[in-house]
Amino acid sequence: AKDYLKIDVIERQIKKEEISDFVECGLCGTAAVISPIGKINDHGKEIIYNNGKDEMGPVLQKIYDTLTGIQMGRLTAPEGWIYTI
């Protein structure tokens, strides 16, 4: 995200109380790639992102497009990311 999208990246643990301040929220993994979170229900307290829709906001969409572009060969991968088997 830093090199491709010029987004400031901070890797740290977050506090539960901070989650409601997020504009967008998503999960990533090998099979899921990047999946948006529409809402979180914490013991009856709902935190809603992107109007509760399971659609990507603009930042997650840019990250998704970049990652899948690298995976599909449409974008140049950073050094050491892809190995031919």
CATH of the domain at 11: 3.20.10.10
pTM of the shown model: 0.78
Q: Are the C-beta atoms of 3 and 70 separated by less than 8 Å?
A: no
Query: What domain count does the chain have?
Result: 1
Quick one: pLDDT at residue 13?
94
Quick one: pLDDT at residue 62?
93
Q: 66 in a domain, yes or no? A: yes
Full domain range(s) for residue 35: 2-70
Q: Exposed, middle or buried: residue 25 (CB in 10 Å: 0-12, 13-18, 19+)?
A: middle
Q: 50 in a domain, yes or no? A: yes
Q: Please report which confidence band the pLDDT of residue 61 belongs to, taking 50, 70 and 90 as the band edges.
A: very high
Q: Please report which confidence band the pLDDT of residue 52 belongs to, taking 50, 70 and 90 as the band edges.
A: confident
- Given a cut of 80, is residue 42 above it in pLDDT? yes
C-alpha distances in Å from residue 76, one per residue of 6, 30, 63, 68, 82: 16, 19, 14, 11, 10
